Amino acid sequence: MIEQETQPEAVPGPRNAPEGLPVPPATSVPRAVWQVRVRTKLDDLYQQLAVLATHDLEQAAALRAQLSGVEAVLGRSGVIEWLRGGKLEYAWQTIHWVERAMVGLRSADELTGLLPAYRSAAAQVLPADDKVLTDLDTVAGGVSADLLRARVQALLQRCHAVSDEFHESARRLRNRMLGLSVFALVAEVLVVLVQWRSNDVRLLEAPTDAGGVAAWRLLFFVLIAGALGAFLSALPSMITSRSGGLPYKLPFQQGLLKLAIGPLVAVVGIMLVIGGLVETSVSSTAALLGLAIVFGAGQQAVTAFADRRAADLLGPAAKS
């Protein structure tokens, strides 16, 4: 589902930019969550650059111009762009680059004062024994300003690399789940169409009380019952799952995958029952649909891989 933007009142750029430093144009607040986070981060960096411009006006202006390129991506996105995530990657990688470059504008005293904040942010995405984090812990008052800047930049670069890899993994998982869901839905439509056009082959044997029901209609109701079973079994996990602040809506994609796979599992399961591979019998339409609901709920065994992968990604705090 593509987020659409509204056009509420404009957000002005920083008012305390010194003379000679261009002020970013007023922009509207986007609706998409990831765009709101980017917009908030941009405003924060603009404010910081306005202060740092007193150290190096030319460099601060160059960094502000770099950030202004991100403004163009905070608009509508097509389906292809939504799948590829190019705008999202460009926005955050540009912000990350500017954050690292801003370290060069800060004085040694400023960096020393910001060290606890750098450590706290890095500890959320890096293991405690990561070398760039331990190197920063060894920083003392006698370290030169250049070495301090280099270590802070190395820490930021490591954190940003982890963040980029995290978002790329989440996007790949989203696209794979979406692709499987679309494939399953197309397969279900094709199965119904083939059964509708074929009168001599019946995928499902009709119970005694549904002998006059068309084969494709019976198949269609079994698919619906399977989707119902999938929905009931997926409801608890869909309610308790969390998105981790990501723009990829992984819980929604997990639910869609379950609803798409459930009907296919129901049809396959009933075919096995009718074929005699399972020791049970279907004597009525109610029993047939009830069995479809049970098999549809069994999609959890098929989609568990997606649940585990999403849980692994969203277990720690979302990295931005």
Determine the pLDDT at residue 277. Answer: 66
Q: What is the mean pLDDT of residues 105-126?
A: 87
Residue 44 has a pLDDT of: 93
Question: 140-149, 215-224, 248-257: lowest mean pLDDT where?
Answer: 140-149
The residue written with tokens 């163009």 in the block is 72
**Of 161, 151, 183, which is closest to residue 257 (Cα–Cα)?**
183
Q: What stretches of the chain show up as alpha helix (H) in DSSP?
A: 33-52, 57-71, 79-84, 86-103, 108-123, 131-137, 145-197, 215-240, 250-274, 285-297, 299-314
Report pLDDT for 13.
44
Q: Looking at residue 229, what is its pLDDT?
A: 93
pLDDT exceeds 60 at position 25: no
165-182 pLDDT tens trace: 888 888 888 899 999 999
What value does the mean pLDDT take over residues 51-62? 90
Q: CA–CA distance from 290 to each of 9, 157, 229, 231 (Å)?
A: 53, 55, 9, 14
Max CA distance (Å), the chain? 90
Question: What pLDDT sits at residue 156?
Answer: 92
**Position 121 pLDDT exceeds 80:** yes
For residue range 269-289, list pLDDT tens digits in order.
Answer: 888 887 776 666 677 888 889
Residues whose CB is less than 8 angstroms from the CB of residue 275 and which lie 6 or more positions away in sequence, other chains included: none
User: For residue 183, what pLDDT is reported?
Assistant: 95
pLDDT confidence of residue 22: 52
Amino acid 136: pLDDT: 74
Residue 12 confidence (pLDDT): 41
Report the percent of the chain where pLDDT is more than 70. Answer: 82
Q: Which pLDDT value is given to residue 35?
A: 79
For residue 305, the tally of other CB atoms under 10 A from its CB is 9
pLDDT at residue 287, rounded to an integer: 87
| Cα–Cα distance measured from residue 201 to residue 178, given in angstroms and rounded to the nearest whole number | 31
pLDDT number for residue 28 = 59
Question: Quick one: pLDDT at residue 279?
Answer: 62
What contacts 11, CB < 8 A, 6 or more positions away? 26, 27, 28, 29, 39, 43
Number of residues that make up the chain:
320
From CA 85, how far away is CA 101, in angstroms rounded?
24
**pLDDT value, residue 125:** 83
Res. 193 pLDDT band, cuts 50 70 90: very high
Averaged pLDDT for residues 92-106 = 92
**Residues 65-89: pLDDT tens digits?**
999 888 877 777 777 877 788 888 8
Q: Where are the domains of the chain?
A: 10-168, 172-314
Lowest pLDDT segment from 23-32, 95-104, 211-220, 308-317: 23-32
Residue with the bigger pLDDT between 140 and 276: it is 276
Asked if the model's pLDDT at residue 14 lies above 50, the reply is no
Q: What is the pLDDT of residue 274?
A: 79
Token output for 274? 């009718």
pLDDT at 88: 84
Asked if residue 208 lies in contact with residue 284, where contact means CB atoms within 8 angstroms, the answer is yes
Residue 36 contacts residue 79 (beta carbons within 8 Å): no
pLDDT greater than 70 at residue 113:
yes
CB 64 within 8 A of CB 74: no
Q: Give the residue from 253, 249, 285 showing the smallest Cα distance to 270.
A: 285
The rounded mean pLDDT for the chain is: 81
